[in-house]
Structure 1
Amino acid sequence: MHISNSTTADIAEIFRLYESATAFQKTRYTLHWPKFESSLVETEINENRQWKITIDGKTACVWATTFDDPQIWEEKNADPSVYIHRIATNPEFKGQNMVAQIVAWAKEYAKANGKTYVRLDTVGPNEGLINHYTKMGFEFLGLYDLKNTDELPAHYHGNPVSLFELLVK
């Protein structure tokens, strides 16, 4: 297993994994990811904020990070944090607990970058994800109605978000 930044050569695979994750979400939930703009992923790649886990030469999982997430975290954005977005696991690697690998990596990444928290969110009251993230060590902070979602992807508009944080020790 190897964690590294995604490159422009990974864009097609990233979107394939997003489409796979969205298809899965549609089978279980009323809220699901919209189609993301390629410019979003291209910017993350250019800023070294798009990541991947590779196993035996295959992309097992992708996600994005940022150190600034004011529209979702509002006043809590002032806390030094790493924010994780859009975790998408390759179906070939389901059940291999990629989130645990990401969490272990994110704790070290946060420490190396002088951050106090690892944070993530999910749209809506998704009990499965709430249970999964709390088992990974995150504290579930509750459901919040965001004040301004203008610059956020469509699935955030008019929907509450579940917020999670993990104190880096």
Structure 2
Amino acid sequence: MKIINGTAADIDIIFSLYDAGTSYQKQIAQKHWLGFDRALIENEISENRLWKIMVDNQVTGVFSIAFTDPCIWKEKDKDPAIYIHRIATHPDFRGNSYVKHIINWVKEYAASHDKYFIRMDTGSGNEKLNNYYVSCGFTYLGIIETDDSDELPAHYRGGTSSLFEIQL
């Protein structure tokens, strides 16, 4: 398994993983993704912030990172942190603990970029997922209400999210 930057050539694969993730979320959770703006993903690719997990030359998962997330993290956004977004795993590869691999990779990446926190959020109400993130090393920080901001993807607007953090 290796983690490398996604490229423009991967865009269809990336969206197919998001679609598969959305279908899965609809089966197991109260909230699900409502689609993503293609320009957002293209921007993350061009800024080398979208990563793909490769196993035997196959894209088995994707995730993005950000260095700011003020709409969700408010005042805490001033901390030197990396934010993980949109983890999506190919259905044939679920159950392989990719989040743990991502965290280990992000820890090394954070250290080389002078970051002291790894943070992520997820739609609130999915206790199984919350417990999984805690088992991966995150501290559960609680639930926040999100604004109805156009800066947020649609599934965030006017809802609640659970916050998670690892202090390095």
Distance 1:123 1:27 in 2: 14
Distance 1:70 1:54 in 2: 31
Partner of 2:49: 49
Native 8 Å contact 2:141 2:162 kept in 1: yes
Partner of 2:149: 149
Per-residue CA distance 1:101-132 (angstroms, 9 max, x = gap): 10100111111100000000001221011101
Partner of 2:131: 131
Q: CA deviation at 1:147?
A: 4.2
Distance 1:61 1:161 in 2: 23
* Letter of the 1:100 counterpart: K
1:86 paired to 2:70: no
Q: Secondary structure at the match of 2:151?
A: coil
Native 8 Å contact 2:147 2:158 kept in 1: no
**Structure 2, unaligned runs of 5 or more:** none
Partner of 2:69: 69
* Letter of the 1:117 counterpart: F
Partner of 2:107: 107
Native 8 Å contact 1:71 1:148 kept in 2: no
Native 8 Å contact 2:120 2:163 kept in 1: yes
Partner of 2:118: 118
**Structure 1, unaligned runs of 5 or more:** none
CA RMSD of aligned residues (A): 0.9
1:13 paired to 2:18: no
Deviates more, 1:83-92 or 1:122-131: 122-131
Native 8 Å contact 2:145 2:160 kept in 1: yes
Native 8 Å contact 1:138 1:166 kept in 2: yes
Q: Secondary structure at the match of 1:118?
A: strand
Q: Secondary structure at the match of 1:122?
A: strand
* Letter of the 2:29 counterpart: Y
Distance 2:71 2:109 in 1: 23
Deviates more, 1:124-133 or 1:78-87: 124-133
Deviates more, 1:141-150 or 1:70-79: 141-150
Q: CA deviation at 1:51?
A: 0.3
Q: Among all aligned residue pairs of Structure 1 and Structure 2, give the percentage whose two residues are the same amino acid.
A: 48
Large movers: runs of 4+ above 4 Å: none
Q: CA deviation at 1:150?
A: 2.7
